[in-house]
Chain A
Amino acid sequence: MKTFTLGGVHPPENKFSQNAPIRELPLPETVTIPISQHLGVPATPVVKKGDTVKTGQLIAKGEGFISANIHSSVSGTVQKVDEVIDTSGYRKKAIIIKVEGDEWEDDIDQSTDLIKDCALTPEEIIKRVNEKGIVGLGGATFPSYVKLMIPKGKKAEYLIINGVECEPYLTADHRLMMEKAEEILVGISIQMKALNVSKAIIGIENNKPDAIEHLRKLLPGYPGISVEPLKVKYPQGGEKQLIKALINREVPSGKLPIEVGCVVHNVGTSYAVYQAVQKNRPLLNRVVTVTGKSLKSPSNFMVRIGTPISQLIEEAGGLPEDTGKVVNGGPMMGKALSNLEAPVTKGTSGVLIFSSQETSRKTMLSCIRCGRCASICPMGLEPYLLAVLSDKKRDEDCEAERIMDCMECGSCLYICPSGRPLLDHIRIGKGAVGKLIRSRSH
């Protein structure tokens, strides 16, 4: 069975919610929709206080090349356009809408019938994906239409679909593949058409045998698509790792997957593309896993964007008393929340609850030069060295040691026997080197 070669770790999987069907979460009383839910330039609000909006109506327009439109996920009245506290405690601009009923825009097809044929041209597909505000739902929230436009002089050979879900605990993509398999496959066909490629590979780790089997059963109706089971290893869901695992090509340092003829999309994104192109439906909701050892009923919810995270936890059995930490995302790459009233955004793949015993970090000891961080780094970096260089503010040396290749997967932090906050220091270094590189181009 295939996997990537360099590094990798095996954290306990703890997929408690893998058999919990996706439930539609009841509508909240108000939604808070941040105007920056994607990588790139924040969108500009086009509604103001007092406006009535319908579900699916455009409320903020993406400006610039890398940006995304934002649509109202509910119908109701705009209460205010103001700064609200986000997941990190900082204030970010958001549109707050009071929910009144659930009236949709007329041109959205709300039925669940499967539409297989797509008559649109590649340009029209890309335009639609852009209009409907689709971003990568794997977590990085990169605007999808940018990925579908192949730069001049490059040619895509493969469309790679990420159904790996290598983060422990999370099961959102798994459930989506089980319940919306046909829609995902149609979405993949649409993306193949837009990219003009004949081959698509769905990579799925073999801890999800039911999903592999289910998709394989449906494959005959979709030419060009294949399903490839992969050995379980974190971080296989990283673009570069997945490409290496599936087609054994290495993306050069600092380059994009298109360099080796690949475009990588998530299964969740494929589903969203299907909804946008076939049903004319913008990105209004997403699957969020709410899980944790201490949680009463770990679940997968279909959540409207902007729903407060506290409501998700309430729906999954309430916040356990001994909760020490609530993480936005998975245990490896997620960030701890400092405000539970923060809303679900396009990038929220999971909400993870840790009890106070599970959460605390190990006490930091001296580096014992065991080299484990270097041996498991999936990018072939030397985290211990980068952490020291960053701490000493030797930014040029950090750059020479390829600090910008770090994708912040957290494997080094996980493996370090001395409990050193390697990734924290590397993140500071990345920030400093990023500044250095930008200052050079000016």
Chain B
Amino acid sequence: MNEITLLSVISLGALGTIAAVILYMVAQKFKVIEDPRIDIVADKLPGANCGGCGYAGCRALAEEIVRKESLDGMSCPPGGNDVMKDIAAVLGLEATEQDPTIAVVRCNGSHENSPPKVRYEGAMTCAFAHSLFAGTGGCPQGCLGCGDCVVSCDFDAIYMDEQTGLPVVKDNCVSCGACVKACPRNIIEIRKRGKKDRRIFVSCINKEKGGVSRKNCKVACIGCGKCVKECNFEAIVFENNLAYIDYNKCTLCRKCPPVCPTGAIHELNFPPRKPRPETKTEPAQA
């Protein structure tokens, strides 16, 4: 070994040692003490980083839970009650049971119900189409059908039905709310999933006068108010020519869908009506 090699090994070794000592001391000085429970909670969360809880991601929610030491108002839509219970058990807290929710598309202006009057050829994004024109069917509040909601979904839980031109929410929706934000017309709403996935909602958000909205779409809410009179639980709010069913008050009694003259009120996942025929509906059909 010649002298230069020896010298360089020694000098670099010394340099390395000094640097290591400095780094160690700096690390000690500026040590970030983090609650170990954050890691534990973050591990329990699904790690989808969907933002459905209202925080920037799963870790942000974990930090918030540990900092507040409470689970009040916290929820994890993809994980559901199970995940929250798990976290509660780890931290020795109590989780509030929350009703599972799902995204609901409140427009039924399919190609058939709202026939296209014009053709759209621009960029296939709802954001642009919305700024450009009312929509092919003419309804200024209806679905544009360009699929911004489909693009926004991280869970592959919404798809575009080619036949109707409307988005359809699949059962695996975690109600993170990404599609709600993506829709420029606020058509999609997060609603309670309901018992056995049964839901009743008004599938229209058009606030125009009845005659006007009906001209563009066969199944528009025309604001007649019949459903409001039919409801015994004051669950239907009527405002600006539009009925809205409050899912917290609705008891799923199924009285309002038959009275809607345009069929704008949808009921999902119910058994067929036959077994419990209401006396009222029979003469109407005859």
- B128 near A90 (CB under 8 angstroms)? no
A428 partner residues in chain B, CB cutoff 8 A: 123, 125, 127-128, 131
Q: Is the CB of A338 within 8 A of B134?
A: yes
Find out whether the CB atom of A89 lies under 8 angstroms from the CB atom of B135.
yes
Give the docked Cα–Cα distance between A88 and B128 (Å).
13
Asked if B73 CB lies within 8 Å of chain A CBs, one says no
Interface residues on B, range: 10 to 19
B132 within 8 A of A: yes
Q: Which of B111-140 contact A (CB under 8 A)?
A: 117-118, 121-123, 125, 127-128, 131-135, 138, 140
User: Could you tell me which residues of chain A, from 408 to 440, have a CB within 8 Å of some CB in chain B?
Assistant: 421, 424-425, 427-428, 431
Nearest CB in chain B: distance from A89 CB, A = 3
Nearest CB of chain B from residue A153's CB, rounded to whole Å = 37
User: Nearest Cβ in chain A — how far from B215, in angstroms?
Assistant: 10
Q: A338-B118, A428-B128 are in contact. Are A89 and B133 (CB under 8 A)?
A: yes
B121 and A361: CB pair below 8 A?
A: yes
A91:B131 contact, CB within 8 angstroms: no
Whether the Cβ atoms of B131 and A427 lie closer than 8 Å is yes
Q: Determine if B246 is an interface residue (Cβ-Cβ < 8 Å).
A: no
Query: Does B86 lie at the interface of the complex (its beta carbon under 8 Å from any beta carbon of A)?
Result: no
Q: Which residues from B are CB-within-8-Å of A112?
A: none
| B189 contacts chain A at the CB level, 8 A cutoff | no
Q: Does B208 contact A (CB under 8 A)?
A: yes
> Once the chains bind, are B133 and A338 in contact (CB under 8 Å)?
yes
CA–CA, A427 to B133, complex, Å? 14
Judge whether A360 is part of the interface by a CB distance below 8 angstroms.
yes
In the bound complex, do residue B123 and residue A91 qualify as a contact, i.e. CB atoms below 8 Å apart? no
A98 on the interface (CB 8 Å rule)? no
A25 to B208, CA, bound (A): 34
Q: State whether B121 touches A360 (Cβ < 8 A).
A: yes
User: Which residue of A90, A338, A361, A425 is within 8 Å of B117 (Cβ)?
Assistant: A338
| Chain B, Cβ-Cβ closest to A430 | B131
Q: Which of B132-182 contact A (CB under 8 A)?
A: 132-135, 138, 140
List A contacts of B133 (CB < 8 A): 88-90, 336, 338
> With the chains together, A29 CA to B219 CA distance in Å?
34
User: Across the interface, do A421 and B134 meet the contact criterion of CB distance under 8 Å?
Assistant: no
Task: Point out the residues of chain A lying under 8 angstroms from B117, CB to CB.
Answer: 338
Q: How far is the CA of A396 from the CA of B18 in the complex (A)?
A: 43
Contact A89 B128 (CB under 8 A): no
Whole-angstrom distance between the Cβ of B135 and the nearest chain A Cβ: 7
- A235, chain B: closest CB distance, angstroms: 20
Q: Distance (Å) between the CB of A392 and the closest chain B CB?
A: 12
Say yes or no for A335: interface residue by CB 8 A criterion. yes
Chain A residue contacts of B127, Cβ below 8 A: 428, 431
Residues of B within 8 Å of A421, CB to CB, are 122-123
What is the count of residue pairs linking A and B with beta-carbon distances less than 8 angstroms?
43
**Using a CB-CB cutoff of 8 Å, which residues 72-94 of chain B contact chain A?**
none
Per-residue contact bits, chain A 330-366, to B (CB 8 Å; 1 contact, 0 not): 0000011010000000000000000000001100000
Nearest CB in chain B to that of A424: its residue:
B123
Name the CB-closest residue of B to A335: B132
Residues of B with C-beta under 8 A to A336: 118, 133
Complex Cα gap A361–B119 (Å): 12
Our pick among A91, A338, A360 for the contact of B208 (Cβ within 8 Å) is A91
Contact flag A89-B123 (CB < 8 Å), given A427-B128, A428-B128? no
Q: Would you list which residues of chain A between 225 and 248 have a CB under 8 Å from chain B?
A: none
Closest to B117 in A: A338
Contacts of A338 in B (CB 8 A): 117-118, 133-134, 138
Chain B residues within an 8 Å CB radius of A360: 121
CA distance A44 to B53 in the complex (A): 44
Interface contact B134-A90, CB-CB below 8 Å: yes
Which one of B118, B128, B138 contacts A425 once the chains associate, using CB atoms below 8 Å?
B128
Min C-beta distance of B9 to chain A, whole Å: 48
Asked if B208 and A424 make an inter-chain contact with CB atoms under 8 angstroms apart, the answer reads no
Q: Digitize A53-93: 1 where CB-to-B-CB distance is under 8 Å, 0 elsewhere.
A: 00000000000000000000000000000000100111100
Of B122, B125, B131, B140, which contacts A89 at CB under 8 A?
B140
In the assembled complex, which residues on chain A have CB atoms less than 8 Å from the CB atom of B118? Answer: 89, 336, 338
Output the residue of A90, A361, A431 with the most chain B CB within 10 A.
A90
With contacts A88-B133, A335-B132 taken as known, whether A425 is within 8 angstroms of B140 at the C-beta atoms is: no
- Type the 1/0 row for B200-217, where 1 means its CB is closer than 8 Å to any CB of A: 000000001000000000
CB-based nearest B residue for A393? B127
Cα of A360 to Cα of B123 in the assembled complex, Å: 13
If the complex has contacts A425-B128, A427-B128, A428-B127, are A89 and B134 also in contact, measured as CB distance less than 8 A? Answer: yes
Contact B121 A89 (CB under 8 A): no
Residue of A nearest to B127 (CB): A428
- Tell me how far the C-beta of A143 lies from the nearest C-beta in chain B, rounded to whole angstroms: 23
A424 touches B134 (CB 8 A): no
* B140 in complex: contacting residue of A90, A335, A424, CB < 8 Å: A90
Residue in chain B with minimal CB distance to A431 = B131
Most A CB contacts (10 A, CB to CB) among B118, B128, B208 go to B128
Residue of A nearest to B122 (CB): A424
Q: Report chain B residues within 8 Å CB of A91.
A: 140, 208
Closest to B208 in A: A91
Minimum CB–CB distance from A322 to chain B (whole Å) comes to: 14
List residues of chain B with CB within 8 A of the CB of A431. 127, 131
> Which residues of the other chain, B, contact A85 by a CB distance below 8 angstroms?
134
Nearest CB in chain B to that of A337: its residue: B118
A291 CB, min distance to chain B CBs, angstroms: 21
Contacts of B123 in A (CB 8 A): 421, 424-425, 428
Looking at the assembled complex, report how far the CB atom of A111 sits from the nearest CB atom of chain B, in whole angstroms: 43
* A–B Cβ pairs within 8 angstroms, 16 of them: A88-B134, A89-B134, A89-B135, A89-B140, A338-B117, A338-B118, A338-B138, A421-B123, A424-B125, A425-B123, A425-B125, A425-B128, A428-B123, A428-B125, A428-B128, A431-B131
8 other A-B residue contacts (CB within 8 Å) besides A90-B133, A427-B128, A427-B131: A91-B140, A338-B133, A338-B138, A361-B121, A421-B122, A424-B123, A425-B123, A431-B127
| Residues of chain A at the chain B interface (Cβ within 8 Å) | 85, 88-91, 335-336, 338, 360-361, 421, 424-425, 427-428, 431
Q: Which 5 A-B pairs have the closest CB atoms?
A: A89-B134, A424-B123, A421-B123, A88-B133, A338-B118
